[in-house]
Amino acid sequence: MNAPVSTTKGILKTVSLTAVIFLTVSGGPYGLEPLTQFVGKNGALLLLLLVPLLWDLPAILTVLELNSMMPINGGYYKWVDRGLGKRWAFYEAWWSWLYSFTDLAIYPVLFVTYVSFFYPALLAWKIPICLAVIWGCAGLNILGIVPVGRVSLFLSAVIIIPFLILFGIALLNTNNHFSIPAPSLKGIGFSGIGMALYTIMWNFLGWDNTTTYAGEVNKPVRSYLISTFTAFVLVIVLYLVTTYITVNSGIDFKELSDGGFPIMGVKFAGQWLGILLSIGGMASALGIFSAVMLSISRVPKEMAEDKMLPKVLGKLHPRFNTPYLSILITAAIVSLMALWTFTELIVIDVILYGAGLSLEFTSLVRLRMKEPDAPRPFKIPLNAFGLCLMTILPVAIYGIALTGVLSKPDGNNTVVYFALIALLTAEIGWQLIRWQERRALALGKND
């Protein structure tokens, strides 16, 4: 049976959707700073060109096809349910929820990094500042998707404008000599390559998250097609130009990794540009947090309706019609996750996200075989076998990154093992659901 296609006129327009997608997936080059430290100037641009093609394009095409079949709230959860059944749908939603907790925890930490450019002493107040960011963004999400969309447009401008100024000053100054470094990973350790891959993958993940509120988007199939490709091109251009300037700047890569892009702004134009880039970094952290929370808060409601989570999680706010309890619970869990470091959170984040993405790839192939004639306004021009070959590319990148991190010289892989154990909790959750169903059935028979 085909899932219903949303025909209701949504309330989020294409321009706002582009801003929300941009913030969900990227939020600007902020967070890309460690890349040059891991693989140097010769490896940074090389990986930044290759990884999006191998990791992102298959994911984007998968998202566009499946979302065109089912442009409804719940997104990836509904795709996997239709393609693989309830058990794997639960896995998908559970892993995505766990990944989102980790992902959300990254941005308050980044916010503290950029606000400390003004007052370094504020690093000592990391936890209170993180909590203020978390609960402030939770409040914005409770107000609804339209306020999030409007704020996303404003924050996107605040993020992009300082980088455009940086690009202009750096590239138009005739005293600066720029060249493209010879692409090479020679001399780079496998663990360094692994961490570089995680950094790039993290800076490009989340395309599927943007579909969980498709039922609230105006003309969803068309809007997602335009907005997704617009956001992808914008992200690629921002990342490549920023990295090109970085590798030619002569800046110490470790200093950049620790202090962020404001340091490069000071180098090229002085304190004023450093301040603008710091404000952009703060805007990026706030915008991504709000956008990601918007996406993940819709999934528990759909699961609650399928009796996979307590019904109370599907409860909507009486005034704003938003899943406010889901938002509040997410904020509470993220408040605890903010205790991890930035690098640790990235590793956990990508491991959990990659596992869920593999189920989406599997659902894509399965639905092509199971429902070949189902309406697909956007269809990848490949048969089932071609789709299998396409999905091997991101899976291979995922495997290389994981192997690289596990080969670290210090042998400290606690965060990797934590993430792998977190994946196993999905089966525990599923068994609890089955036990509850059997118990309810038994009580019904006794009555």
Confidence of residue 410 (pLDDT cuts 50, 70, 90): low
The two three-digit tokens of residue 27, written as one number: 């939020």
pLDDT at 239: 93
What would the mean pLDDT of 97-106 be, rounded to a whole number? Answer: 83
- Nearest by Cα to 171 from 245, 273, 61: 245
- Whether 157 shows a pLDDT value over 80: the answer reads yes
Least Cα distance to 314 among 332, 329, 333, 300 occurs for 300
Window from 176-180, 230-234, 431-435 with minimum mean pLDDT: 176-180
Q: Return the pLDDT at 140.
A: 81
pLDDT in tens, 269-300: 999 999 999 999 888 888 888 777 877 777 77
pLDDT tier for residue 445 given thresholds of 50, 70 and 90:
low
Average the pLDDT over 96-125 and give the result. Answer: 82
CA distances from residue 1 to 12, 80, 341, 367 in whole angstroms, order as listed: 28, 14, 45, 12
Which range among 131-135, 176-180, 250-254 shows the weakest confidence by mean pLDDT? 176-180
pLDDT digits (tens, 9 = 90+) for 362-374: 999 999 999 999 9
Q: Per-residue b/e over 19-57, b at no fewer than 16 CB within 10 Å?
A: bbbbbbbbbbbbbbbbbbbbbbbbbbbbbbeebbeebbe
For residue 73, report the phi and psi dihedrals to the nearest 5 degrees. Answer: -60, 140
Burial category of 241 from C-beta neighbours within 10 Å (exposed 0-12, middle 13-18, buried 19 and up): middle
φ and ψ at residue 148, rounded to 5 degrees:
-65, -40
For residues 368 and 351, what is the distance between their CA atoms, to the nearest angstrom?
A: 27
Residue 161: the pLDDT is 93
- Confidence at residue 382, expressed as pLDDT on a 0 to 100 scale: 92
> Helices marked H in 298-383 — which ranges?
299-305, 324-337, 342-370
Among 24-28, 93-97, 165-169, 203-207, the range with the most confident prediction by mean pLDDT is: 165-169
